[in-house]
Chain A
Amino acid sequence: MSRALAGPMIAADILKLRRHRPTMAAATALSVGVTALYLAVILARHNGQLPGARTLGDGTSLMGLYFGSFAAILIGTEAGTIDVTAGVFRDLAATGRSRTALFLTRVPAAIAVALAFTLSGFLLTVAAAFAFHGATPVPGPGLIAGSALWVVLATAVITALAVGAGSLTGSRAVTLTAIIGWQTVASGMLYLATFLGAARDLVLVFAVSRFQPGPAIGTRVNPGSTNALNNLKLPMPAVTAVLVILAWLIAAAAAGAWRTRTRDA
């Protein structure tokens, strides 16, 4: 597929997503909305002050692991299923354009839209960490940049996974249930299943968390706090984490592309 064609196709996929008001409203609530609410609660509990680095860590986890990733899953799922559920896939396929190309352009489009939300939530956290740090030190530029890059990584990976799964199932409900269930409930249980040993390295969220800046492995981001957000780090080598992430991405892309090619239009 030529670049001249890929650009407009990606733009068209972005258009479909950003015009979809229910998805955009939910993604806003899950990213900026939840971040604002979280910051407001912490501000109220800490008498109008936010401990800088800790707030940044919380905001990063919120966007990369928790609510921001739900927004990314929602957007990725929508990107993967929107043509099929609207009945437009048939018309796209009847143009003769490669179905693989139809699948491939969904991925960057969904990532671009999802990043707009998770990075907005993250930037809100950064702004709050500077505005309300009080007597505590503000987060350093290295930590901010590292955290931002990690949010980008986490968002891109989970969005791509959702696009692949959505394209595979063609069903919004099935995809959302499967991915959110896997990422939160199942992965949370596996995190505690220490008897599985290194087999847990294969879980996507642990591999992604491996690169999250901040507290050491297995510690709470907010120790001693009732609003503690666990990170999900396991002691795995960086190479292993990279290979696990690539394996998940390749599997999701292969499954999504295969189904898009073979789907009865």
Chain B
Amino acid sequence: MPGRPARPEAGAVTTSLAPPIIETRGLTKRFGSRTAVADVNLIVPAGCAFGFLGHNGAGKTTVIRLLTGLTQPDSGTVVVGGRPLAGHRAEVLARVGAIIEEPRFHHHLSGRENLRVIAAVRGPQARRRIEPALERVGLADRAGDRVGAYSQGMRQRLGIARCLLADPRLIILDEPMNGLDPGGILGLRGLIADLVAEGRTVFVSSHLIDEIEKTCHAAAVIDRGRLIAQGPIAALLGDGGSSLEDWFLALTSRVGARS
């Protein structure tokens, strides 16, 4: 298909066989009478870029907040790296980096100082990772500037540097392409690919289907709080040769019509 992006090389990533880094069972979260997340059984294989697709308001951010222990499920369990989050929060999250919704910082501090704040909370090893993380995301020369003067793209990169302080096995990025210019998007795609090549799992939540197709090996789709599909992208699309966007729109409209 002309102009169609090449899917990322699955390479060593065997998404169907790799042990899951994230496994949720019956995950349910209600806000008053509204069920934001209903009976989600999500399996994210380790060592891949995993897309989490859904329309705005589908429940993506709520799932991420449940995965990072920021909110408690009404029922169901979250297991990360083989350990249940409930009761092992500190150990589980010690090796998880996350940008939730948008990266927030103390604007009156420099980029480096913001990392020092998080590193202080994460522990002494995280402090030693500050400079390599800044180098990694290309912010070493601007690390002394106040974050208030950073562009959206620079803040996104600083957010990833903050994730790297954990030496994470799992990196969760919520709508990471939001507000990025084309150069920033390209840079982020490359960074995600590099992180996966190091054996880390990158969980990318987005409503930008095209980006998921370009970046991820496997994906799950959430619609109205329910998980309606998951698996390697090639397997999800089947042999029909359709794009992920066509498939996603067909799937969500079919589910919508049924409900």
B70 engages A90 (CB within 8 Å): yes
* Of listed A5, A12, A90, A94, residue having the most chain B CB within 10 A: A94
Tell whether A88 pairs with B70 under 8 Å between CB atoms, given A12-B117, A19-B113, A96-B89.
Answer: no
| A131 on interface, CB distance cutoff 8 Å | no
B106 engages A97 (CB within 8 Å): no
A93 engages B107 (CB within 8 Å): no
Closest Cβ neighbor of A264 among chain B residues: B71
Looking at the assembled complex, report how far the CB atom of B97 sits from the nearest CB atom of chain A, in whole angstroms. 9
The DSSP consensus for interface residues of chain A is helix
| A4 on interface, CB distance cutoff 8 Å | yes
Closest Cβ neighbor of A97 among chain B residues: B121
Q: Chain B 120-164 against A: per-residue CB contact (8 Å), 1 yes, 0 no?
A: 111110010000000000000000000000000000000000100
A92 engages B106 (CB within 8 Å): no
Q: Which of B68, B116, B124 has a CB less than 8 Å from the CB of A12?
A: B116
| A265 on interface, CB distance cutoff 8 Å | yes
Closest Cβ neighbor of A12 among chain B residues: B120
| A82 on interface, CB distance cutoff 8 Å | yes
In the bound complex, how far is the Cα of B166 from the Cα of A20, in angstroms?
27
| B249 on interface, CB distance cutoff 8 Å | no
How many residues of chain B are within 8 Å of chain A by beta carbon?
A: 34
A8 engages B100 (CB within 8 Å): no
A94 engages B69 (CB within 8 Å): yes
User: Which A residues lie within 8 Å of B208 (CB)?
Assistant: none
User: Which A residues lie within 8 Å of B193 (CB)?
Assistant: none
* Of listed B90, B103, B106, B113, residue having the most chain A CB within 10 A: B106
How many residues of chain A are within 8 Å of chain B by beta carbon?
A: 27
| B79 on interface, CB distance cutoff 8 Å | no
A97 engages B108 (CB within 8 Å): no
In the bound complex, how far is the Cα of B96 from the Cα of A82, in angstroms?
24
Q: Which of A16, A94, A97, A102 has a CB less than 8 Å from the CB of B68?
A: A94
Looking at the assembled complex, report how far the CB atom of A105 sits from the nearest CB atom of chain B, in whole angstroms. 9
| B104 on interface, CB distance cutoff 8 Å | yes
Q: Which of B89, B90, B91, B104 has a CB less than 8 Å from the CB of A88?
A: B104
A11 engages B120 (CB within 8 Å): yes
| B92 on interface, CB distance cutoff 8 Å | yes
Tell whether A86 pairs with B117 under 8 Å between CB atoms, given A8-B124, A96-B90, A97-B122.
Answer: no
Q: Show the binding face of A for B, using Cβ within 8 Å.
A: 4-5, 8-9, 11-12, 15-16, 19-21, 82, 86-88, 90-98, 102, 264-265
